[in-house]
Structure 1
Amino acid sequence: MVTVKCSYTVFPSQPTPKGPFWLSECDQIAPWTHVPTICVYKLKHSHNHNIDDFVERMRESLSKILVYYYPLAGRVRRIEGGRLELDCNEMGVTFLQAESPKSLDEYGNFEPNHTIAELLPKVDYSKPVEETPLLLAQLTRFSLGGLSLGLAVNHTIVDGSSLSHFVNSWAKLARGETLKEEEMPFLDRTILKTPNPVATPRFDHKSYEFKPLPLILGSSDNIAERKKDTSVALLPLTRDQVLKIKNKANEENTVSSSVRATRPYSRYEAIAAHIWRTGAKARKHDEHQPTVVRFVGDIRNKLKPSLPRKYFGNALLRTVTPICTSGEIISNPLCYAAQKIQEAIDKLTDEYMRSQLDFLASQEKVDWLRGSLHIVGGLNGLFYGNPNFSIVSWLSMPMYELDFGWGKPLYMGPGSLNEDGKTFIMPSPSGDGSVIVALRLQTTHMEAFQRFFYDDISIESSDIIKSNL
């Protein structure tokens, strides 16, 4: 049982701007929940005796970085129509110092399940949103050396890219370095503000990316699927396996008469297609079962003109594959599913994205768009599970550059996967082009999923599954 030794509220080290802070439509549709992330460090023996120095350095550098990222020190409040507004009031963030009686090795590969929950800061969702910190951090020392940094950051305020910029800047200050001008965050979210009056959307978004997802055939809701027992797995793919999946999809595309990609398939498109196809097999769907993959696209470089590189906030918009049947996904070559995923990505043109922003701005109430203010994974929140998937890419994030002064992390990944179908594709610690697929799936389907996942690329599954990160 992890023991929290000290709890601190950390404030910006200098006065920062006060008052209301406008949140974009991209922020409004993010679920009201804190995204948990964990970083694990295997320290040199001499470093393990300096925990108090580490804590002081972390608190001091966190206080300094909040001057630049001051929205994180504020609080969110509800306004008309269920929308949210940020109040920049310097109420601060939470920093916890904790100790674990377990060794680093006893946590295994840190897969995102109940085992590592004690290494993450707990968010009290019984409090009003106006009282809930937007950032919580927990530094935990293991019994035989090593540390973990667990983060919980409110998704209304940041996406993965923004979080990565923030934490890497925090780490740089903790190492005693200074931030360069080009490393400063761009905080003005009004760059995404739609014209007033709001333009009429050019596309039917309600019938596309905001349409309810397919249900299991014969079901009128997804409640039964939500209640089923689920399990988590970390599935590593070597660089050669990644290349094999990607090359397979692209080679099939050149000979297929029914599939024509607009460009070569990316790593994400090929691996996501492999996951989708594997899931349809493992879930033993009826061949007529409708299924989709829903995900988000980073719009920073897709908008014209593009957003500033250090834009701080959510810059994600939803997209979804066309509805396919599981029979189509399984019977066709891998390039078929890859092409459907590519089609969803390519749908996010400048015109389409601005139309989606207009659609969001035109909604009098937005709770239905974010799945209410309930925590994702409950019976009232968003559900991406059987027969569907939600597949998030962290492939472009500099996950293993996060050095607070005691070296780069041994592992970094999501702190939890909250429901069936939720999947992350992440770079592995080796940095050699290999990846890790983290996913939660209904327990009855997990064994078959892992078998198909590797057998379909002609790799002995038992050896891979037992491989050590």
Structure 2
Amino acid sequence: MATLATVRHISRCAIKPLCFPNESIKHIYHLNPWDLSLLSTHYIQTGLLFSIPPSSINQEDKYCIPTIIDQLKESLSRTLVHFFPLTGRFITQKSNNPHSYSISVDCRDAPGVEFIHAVADLKIVDVLSPIDVPPIVHSFFALNGAVNHDGHTIGDGTSLGKTQLTELLDGIFLGCSFNHVIGDGTSFWHFINTWSEACRKEIKDKGISRPPILQRWFPIVDGPIVN
């Protein structure tokens, strides 16, 4: 079954931050040598697989797919308020004297993070039962195979972070792609956990439990943009 099925994209849209609590975050984030060394590595990507209760086929049920998608989009928009660099785009500046290139993350217009809704005629067992990961699972990620430098040219600017919800016959797979230049694995899971908080409405009326650090420093050893 998994070898015959295909992933079909139903819709896609750009999710932007719900608001801009601090206009100073809408600027250019300069990359340091450690960040630049990651341009040739692949995007961080991880998927979350969930089963859906049988009652979700009822369109009035709170677990129906359209409701889940709307909730994910709305909570992602609130999460991006705190992880603003993910909404930016790469820019490369060239200098002739001296001859050099510099790459930065431009957040001044904040194109956002793309959210894709896809479907596949698969069941959860088709994903979990094989000893090796079925090749079709690669299609559950919008940026599978991309390297971080590709963030310059992918899509319409929403290239530093992409999310794809693939609707299965009895579940959903949420695949998240995160440009490694923006943050490391710890930063990635910080983002996922904060999104989970937002999805549970826990940050609607109060701040998040662990705000990320967005300030940039340039000591000998530096960390990611998002931490």
Range of TM-score over shorter length: 0.7 to 0.9
**Deviations 1:235-264, CA, capped at 9 Å, x for gaps:** xxxxxxxxxxxxxxxxxxxxxxxxxxxxxx
- Give the counterpart letter for 1:117 in structure 2: H
Cα RMSD (Å):
2.8
Q: Which amino acid counterpart does residue 136 of structure 1 have in structure 2?
A: K
- The reply to whether residue 107 of structure 1 matches residue 134 of structure 2 is no
Q: Which residue of 1 aligns with 2:10?
A: 5
CA distance in 1, matches of 2:225, 2:30: 13
**In 2, distance between residues paired with 1:182 and 1:174?**
14
C-alpha displacement at 1:18, in angstroms?
A: 2.0
Q: Which runs of 5+ in 1 are unaligned?
A: 196-298, 301-306, 315-469
* Residues 116 and 40 of structure 1, relative CA distance in 2, 3 Å threshold: same
- On the 8 A contact 2:91/2:152 being kept in 1, the answer is no
Match of 2:37 in 1: 29
Task: Note the 1:257-268 alignment, pairs <5 A.
Answer: none
Question: Are the structure 2 counterparts of residues 116 and 142 from structure 1 closer, same or farther at C-alpha, using a change threshold of 3 Å?
Answer: same
1:23–1:175 distance in 2 versus 1, CA, 3 Å: same
Aligned residues of 1:38 and 1:148 also touching (Cα < 8 A)? yes
Tell me if the contact between 1:185 and 1:312 (Cα under 8 Å) persists in the aligned partners.
no
In the other structure, the counterpart of 1:91 is: 111
| Higher RCO (Cα < 8 Å, 6 or more apart) | 2
Quick check: 2:166–2:174 contact (8 Å CA) kept in 1?
A: yes
Aligned residue in 1 for 2:97? none
- Of all paired residues, the percent bearing the same amino acid is 24
1:187 matched to 2:187? The reply is no
Structure whose residues are more often strand by fraction: 2
Q: Is 1:56 the counterpart of 2:70 in the alignment? A: yes
Change (3 A) 1:167 1:126: closer
- Structure 1 consecutive aligned stretches of length 4 or more whose deviation exceeds 4 Å: 109-113, 123-127, 179-182
Assess, with a 3 A threshold, how the Cα gap between structure 1 residues 169 and 47 changes in structure 2: closer, same or farther. Answer: farther
Cα displacement (A) at 1:96: 0.6
2:18 counterpart letter in structure 1: S
Aligned with 2:121: secondary structure?
coil
Q: Which residue of 2 aligns with 1:46?
A: 55
Which of 150, 156, 159 matches 1:133? 159
Of 30-39 and 108-117, the range deviating more from structure 2: 108-117
Structure-to-structure mapping, 1:348-367, within 5 angstroms: none
Distance in 2 between the 1:109 and 1:35 partners? 24
In structure 2, relative to structure 1, the CA distance for the partners of 1:3 and 1:62 (3 Å cut) is same
Give the match for residue 197 of structure 2: 172
Residue 109 to residue 59, structure 1, CA distance change in 2 (3 Å): same
Q: Tell me what 1:427 maps to.
A: none
Question: Which residue does the alignment assign to 1:340?
Answer: none
* Whole-angstrom CA distance in 2 between matches of 1:158 and 1:108: 29
Q: In the alignment, is the contact (CA less than 8 A) between 1:5 and 1:98 conserved in 2? A: yes
1:169 counterpart SS class: helix
How is 1:226-265 mapped onto 2 (pairs within 5 angstroms)?
Answer: none
How far residue 37 of structure 1 moved from its aligned partner, in angstroms, is: 1.4
Distance 1:48 1:57 in 2: 17
Amino acid corresponding to residue 104 of structure 1 in structure 2 = I
Paired with 1:161 and 1:48, the residues of 2 have a C-alpha distance of 36
Deviations 1:317-357 (A, max 9, x none): xxxxxxxxxxxxxxxxxxxxxxxxxxxxxxxxxxxxxxxxx
Aligned length: 199
**SS of 2:178 mapped into structure 1:** strand
Unaligned runs of 5+ in 2: 1-5, 59-63, 95-99
CA distance in 1 between counterparts of 2:208 and 2:128 reads: 40
Shift of 1:109: 4.8
Kept after mapping to 2: 8 A contact 1:61/1:174: yes
SS class of match (2:81): helix
Aligned residue identity for 1:313: V
1:188 Cα offset (Å): 0.6
Evaluate the alpha carbon distance shift between residue 181 and residue 10 of structure 1 in structure 2; reply closer, same or farther with a 3 A threshold.
closer
CA deviations on 1:174-202 (whole Å, 9 max, x unpaired) are 11111645511111122xx138xxxxxxx
Q: Quick check: 1:6–1:98 contact (8 Å CA) kept in 2?
A: yes
The separation in 2 between residues aligned to 1:167 and 1:100, in whole angstroms, is 24
- Measure the CA separation in 2 of the matches of 1:168 and 1:126: 24
Equivalent position amino acid for 2:164 in 1: Q
> CA shift at 1:127, angstroms?
6.5
State whether structure 2 residue 226 is matched by structure 1 residue 313: yes
Q: What secondary structure sits across from 1:68 in the alignment? A: coil
Distance in structure 2 (CA, Å) of the matches to 1:133 and 1:36: 13
Please tell me whether the aligned partners of residues 48 and 146 of structure 1 are also in contact (alpha carbons under 8 angstroms). Answer: no
Deviation at 1:139, TM superposition (A): 0.6
TM-score between both structures, scaled by the size of structure 1: 0.39
**AA in 2 matched with 1:84:** I
1: CA distance between counterparts of 2:134 and 2:43? Answer: 16
Q: Give, in whole Å, the separation in 1 of the partners of 2:134 and 2:35.
A: 27
CA distance in 2, matches of 1:126, 1:175: 31
Larger radius of gyration: 1
Matches of 1:153 and 1:52, distance apart in 2: 24
